[in-house]
Chain A
Amino acid sequence: MVYPYIPHTDEDRRRMLEAIGVSSIEELYSSLTEDLLLSDSVPISHGRTEDEVLRMITAIAQRNSTGIPFLGCGCYDHLVPSTVQTLASLPSFVTAYTPYQAEMSQGLLQVIYEFQSMICEITGMDISNASLYDGANAAAEAATIMISHKRKSSAVLVSSTIHPFTLQVLNTWALGTGHEIRLIPERQGVTDLKKLDDLLQEEVAGLIVQTPNRYGLLEDFSGIADTLHAKGCLLAISSDLLSLAMQKSPAEWGADIAVGDTQALGLPLAFGGPSCGYMAVSTALMRKIPGRIVGATVDKQGRRGYTLTLQAREQHIKREKASSNVCSNQALAALMTTIHLSSLGWGGMVEAAKQSYVKAHYLAYHLAQLPGMTLVWDVPFWCEFPLVFSDAKKMRKFLQELRNEGIFAGVRLSGLTRQVKDELVLLVAVTEKRSREELELYLAAARRVMK
C-alpha cells in the first residue's frame, strides 16, 4: 500500500539505505532485541482511504444527536462570528509549533500578546499568561501559586459553590502531596464567608471562589480580599470571562489571581474540549504565574518585536523547581478567543452578556410560575439558574419529554456531584443565542409536562 503521508518510493528507500550503509530498514532497529520486535503488526484495523474514513466517521456522527441546548455548567452555546473558525484555520497558525524561534513566529507571538492584553483588560489584572488547559486546571495552578507564596503553608480554602468538576480537579491536585483542600460551606446558594477570619489559620495559603458559581448565582466578595491579605493569604476568583462584562471584575474585588475558561468567547461546545483556561495575576506574582508568557522588546535595529519571556520560571529551564510542568497549552483556542474578542469589541461583549441575562431571566420568571419547580434562592444570577423540582420522577419526565421535542432542558447537578442532596436540582442556561421562539418552545413544553 502507498501512504499519501509518506512520500518514499521503492527507489528512494533503496538509495537511502545505500547511503546509510544498511541493507534493510529492519537493520536500523538492531538495538532492539528480538523479543521486543513485534513479529506481527499490532492488532488494529487495516488502513482506509480518505473516502472510507469519511463515510465511517459520518456514520458514527449520526449516533450523536443535537437539540436546542439550554445546557451550561462551564460550557455554553454562544453566538460566534464567522471570522473565528475561518481565521483560526489558517494553516500557518494551525501547523506551527510553540514560537520558540521568535524571528519567524512574530505573528503567533503577537496574537498571544494581544490575548494576554485582552485577558488583563477584562479581568482587570496586571499580567496574563498565554493560556492553560482549562478553568479547572487554572484553579489548580492558582492553588500551587498560593502554597508557594506563603511559607510553610499547606492548605487552600475552596468554596463549596465552585464548579463540582473544578473541585474534583483540585482534590486530585492535593492527593498525595501533603496539601489540603478545605471547603467553606455554602448558605442560600452562595459561599458563607461570615466566619472566614476564623478559617484563616497559619497553614492556610489562600481562598478560591467562583462567580457565577456552580448554581449560576453571582457572589458578593465585599471585604474578603482585605481579610485574606491581612493574614498573608491570596484570593483567587474563577469566572466565566463573558460574565465580567456585567459583574465586578476579579481586580475590582481585590483578587490576586483571576482564573477560568474562555470557552464562552469563541469556542464550540465540542463535547467539552478543547477549551481554554486563562490565568491573570497582580504584578507581585509575576514570577509565580505558570506557563508561557510573551513580552515585547526590540531587536538590534530598535524594531519592536515579541518573544517568549520570563522563561526562568518554566520547566525547560528550572526542571523540578519550575512554577509548573505546563508546556503545551491551548494556543489555538486562545487564538480563537482573541479573534472573537477582536470581532465583538467591548460593546459586543456587553451586549452578549446583557442579552444572556435578560433571556435567562425571562425563562426563569415564567418557569417559576409553574407547579412542581421553584427557584429556591433569592440571589442574583446571570445566564444560568437552579431550578429545583419537587420530585425526581417528575424531573426525569420533564427532561425526557423536552428531549423528545428537541430541547435539552438543562443539566442535572447530581450528575456532576454524585450527591443525593443535588438530585432535584436542574441547572438551566440561556445565552443570547437562544431565540424568542426557542424560549417559547421550552415554556410551552414545560407547561404541558408540569401542569
Chain B
Amino acid sequence: MSEPLLIDKSKKGRKAYCFPALDLPRGFEQALPDIPASMLRVKAARLPEVAELDVVRHFTKLSTQSFGVDNGCYPLGSCTMKYNPKLGELIAQLPAFTTIHPLQDLSTAQGSLSIMYNLLEDLSSITGMSWGSLQPCAGAHGEYTGLKMIRAYFMKKGETKRTKVLVPISAHGTNPASAAMNGFDVVTIASDREGLVDMDDLASKLDDSVAALMLTNPNTLGLFEKNILKISSMVHASGGLLYYDGANLNAIMGMATPGDMGFDVLHLNLHKTFSTPHGGGGPGSGPVMVNDILRPFLPKPDIELTDGGYAYSWDRPDSIGKVSMFWGNFLVLLRAYVYVLRMGSEGIRAASSHAVLNANYLKSRLEKHFDIPYGTKVMHEFVISCESLKKEYGITAQDIAKGLIDEGYHPPTMYFPSLVPEALMLEPTESESIETLDAFADTLIAILERAKEDPLYLKGAPYTTPVGRLDEVKAVKEPDLRY
C-alpha cells in the first residue's frame, strides 16, 4: 500500500508542535519598528497541518518502504555497504557534541577539535600520507578539493599549460565531472585486455600538458592495478601528479597504503570505508589527504596542536581556501573516529582482508553460472556480465536485479562500469557471513534458472514492492517534481 503525501492529510487548525508563549514585557511587541511592507512576505507556504501522531505514522510508514543495511544484504558494488555500528549512532547523539556551535570560542570546543585532529592523524597513518583536510562533505567533494589543490600547485609553479586530467574509462563518473569543474580537459585512458590501465595508451598520452592521472585502485572491476609503481614513476617523470580515488580503499586498508604506491593526493569516503551510514544519500564525508608537496595547498583553516591546545591556523598563503561553510560534517567524522577506535590497527586490516575473502568466495560460488569477464582473483568486488543471457534468453542485468528485490536483497550496482556490457557489480563487504553469502548465491542462481525457463516472469519483477517498474520516460517528459 502506498502512503499518501502528508500534505493530503492536512486539516486546518491541527498542530504537531507548540511554541512557548512569548513572555516579554507587555507592549514591547507593539513598540517594535516596522519592517517596510515592501520587504515582507505576502504568500503563505503550503505545509502540512497535522497532529504529532500523524507525523510519526507517516514517516514510520515511509521507513518501511526503504531498505538499508540493517534490513538485509546489500552487495552494491563500489558503494561499500558495510554494517554501520550502533555505537557510532549512540555517540553521535551525545549533547556534548550536538550542542557545540561551530563559532563558539575554541577554548570551549577542545573536545570536538581533538576528535578531528586525532582522526586526521589516524587517517594519515592508514593512507600513508602526510596530512589532510576534513572539510569535504562527500567523495565527489573530496575529488573537487584534491583537483583544486593540483590546479593551485601548478599555478604556483607557473606550469599553467598543464590543463589535462587523465581518467581511465572504468572510473566513477564523478572523476571526469570533478576535473571539468576545475577547468581541466578530461582525457580518457583505455583499459587493456585484463581490465587494467592500458600502459601503452597511458604512455602515449603523458606529456607536459597533463596535470594528473586519477586512479581508483583496486579499480571498479575489483582488480588491483599491479603496475601501479610503474604508473606512478611514469606520471611523476612527466611532471604530473597522481590522484587516488578512495572509493575502493576497503580492499587494501591496513594491508597497503596509497602513499607507498606513489599517490600525491587522495580522498576517502568515510561513509564507505569507515562505516558511517549512507543516510539514503548522505551526509557522507570525503576527507582529502596529501603528501608533503601538496600540504601547503590544503583548504584552510588547518587544525594545529599548540601549547594552548587545539587551534585553527588561517595564515596559509598557498591554501586553496575554504570548501565548506564550516569545518566539515562533524557528526560523520565522529562516527568514523569511533569506528577507527573500535577496530584498531589489526581490526582495519581484518576488515579489508575479509572484504576480499568474501568477494572471492561469492565469485567462486557464482562463476560456474555467470560470465565474469575480468579477473581470476579479485579484490573486494567483481563484475558479472549478463550479455550472453541477454542474447540467448533476453534477460538483462536489470531483470536479474529486479528479481533479487523480490527475494529480499538489495541488487548489485547495474550497468557500471561501462566497460562490461550488461554489468552487475557485486561488493559483499566483510560484514556478511558465509551463510548469508551462500543464501544470496543460491538465490541468484535460482533466479537465473527460473528466468531461463520463464523469462517473462522476471521481466515483470519486482512483484512484492508497493510499485512495479516505473515509467521513467514519463517522469522526464512530464516532470512532476513537487506537490
Contacts and interface: CB of A to CB of B under 8 A. Distances in A.
A349 to B, nearest CB: 7
B365 A95 contact: no
Interface in B349-384: 349-351, 353-354, 356-358, 360-361, 363-365, 377, 379
Given A44-B122, A48-B344, A105-B65, A297 B471 contact: yes
Interface string B464-480: 01111111101110011
A67 B467 CA distance: 49
A8 B354 contact: yes
A121 B46 contact: yes
A352 B466 contact: no
B114 A60 contact: yes
A61 B17 contact: no
A303 B56 CA distance: 25
A134 B137 contact: yes
B226 A96 contact: no
B33 to A, nearest CB: 7
B305 interface: no
Contact of A103 (B104, B346, B469): B469
Contacts of A304: 2, 467
Nearest to A139: B325
B470 A273 contact: no
B330 interface: yes
Of B7, B55, B71, B482, most buried by chain A (CB within 10 Å of CB) is B482
A204 interface: no
Interface stretch (B197-205, B235-243, B426-434): B426-434
Of B38, B181, B261, most buried by chain A (CB within 10 Å of CB) is B181
Interface string B417-461: 000000000000011111000000000000000000000000000
A301 B323 CA distance: 46
B151 interface: yes
A273 B101 CA distance: 10
Contacts of A8: 354, 357, 433-434
B482 A117 contact: yes
B234 interface: no
24 contacts: A25-B356, A28-B360, A37-B255, A42-B254, A42-B349, A44-B340, A81-B16, A90-B60, A98-B281, A106-B62, A108-B65, A110-B3, A111-B62, A117-B482, A176-B151, A176-B182, A245-B41, A248-B42, A252-B43, A273-B283, A297-B480, A316-B172, A327-B174, A329-B138
Nearest to B61: A107
Given A176-B155, A348-B15, A50 B281 contact: no
Contact of A98 (B226, B280, B345, B363): B280
B103 A411 contact: yes
Of A3, A64, A171, A432, most buried by chain B (CB within 10 Å of CB) is A64
Contact of A361 (B32, B256, B340): B32
A95 B70 contact: yes
Contact of B125 (A44, A168, A175, A318): A44
B38 A220 contact: yes
The 8 residue pairs across chains A and B that have the minimum distance between CB atoms: A272-B326, A272-B102, A47-B344, A95-B68, A332-B279, A107-B65, A107-B62, A305-B467
B272 to A, nearest CB: 10
B330 A133 contact: no
Contact of B102 (A166, A271, A352): A271
Contacts of A351: 19
Interface in B205-230: 223-224, 226, 228-229
A373 B112 CA distance: 32
Given A45-B341, A165-B322, A246-B40, A343 B55 contact: yes
A282 interface: no
Contact of A135 (B172, B325, B338): B325
Interface stretch (B86-94, B288-296, B386-394): B86-94
A124 interface: yes
Of B6, B33, B104, B470, most buried by chain A (CB within 10 Å of CB) is B470
Given A103-B462, A103-B465, A345 B49 contact: yes
B108 A67 contact: yes
Contact of B39 (A28, A248, A328): A248
Interface in B59-86: 59-71, 74, 76, 79, 81-85
Contacts of B283: 133, 273-274, 276, 328-333
Contacts of A103: 402, 405, 462, 465-470
Given A38-B257, A103-B469, A172 B321 contact: yes
A300 B469 contact: yes
Interface stretch (A11-19, A193-201, A226-234): A11-19
Interface string B144-159: 1000100110010000
Interface residues of B, number: 198
Given A33-B229, A87-B63, A134-B324, 11 more contacts: A20-B364, A28-B379, A44-B344, A75-B103, A110-B62, A172-B321, A270-B100, A273-B324, A274-B329, A299-B469, A380-B33
Nearest to A2: B350
A47 B342 contact: yes
Contacts of B358: 16
Contacts of A175: 148, 151-152, 320-321
Contacts of B307: none
A218 interface: yes
Contacts of B481: 113, 116, 127-128, 293-296, 309
Contacts of A134: 137, 324-326
A130 interface: yes
Given A321-B180, A358-B32, A436 B24 contact: yes
Interface in A37-90: 37-38, 41-48, 50, 53-54, 56-58, 60-67, 69, 71, 73-75, 77, 79, 81, 83, 85, 87, 89-90
Contacts of B377: 20, 22, 28, 30-31
Interface string A118-138: 101110101110110111110
A415 B105 CA distance: 10
A178 B95 CA distance: 44
Contacts of B329: 273-274
Contacts of B322: 136, 165, 168-169, 172
B141 A270 contact: no
Nearest to B460: A300
Contacts of B350: 3, 6
A31 B255 CA distance: 12
A53 to B, nearest CB: 5
Contacts of B331: 270, 273-274
Contact of B96 (A61, A136, A165, A328): A61
A41 B7 contact: no
A70 to B, nearest CB: 10
Contacts of B361: 16, 19-20
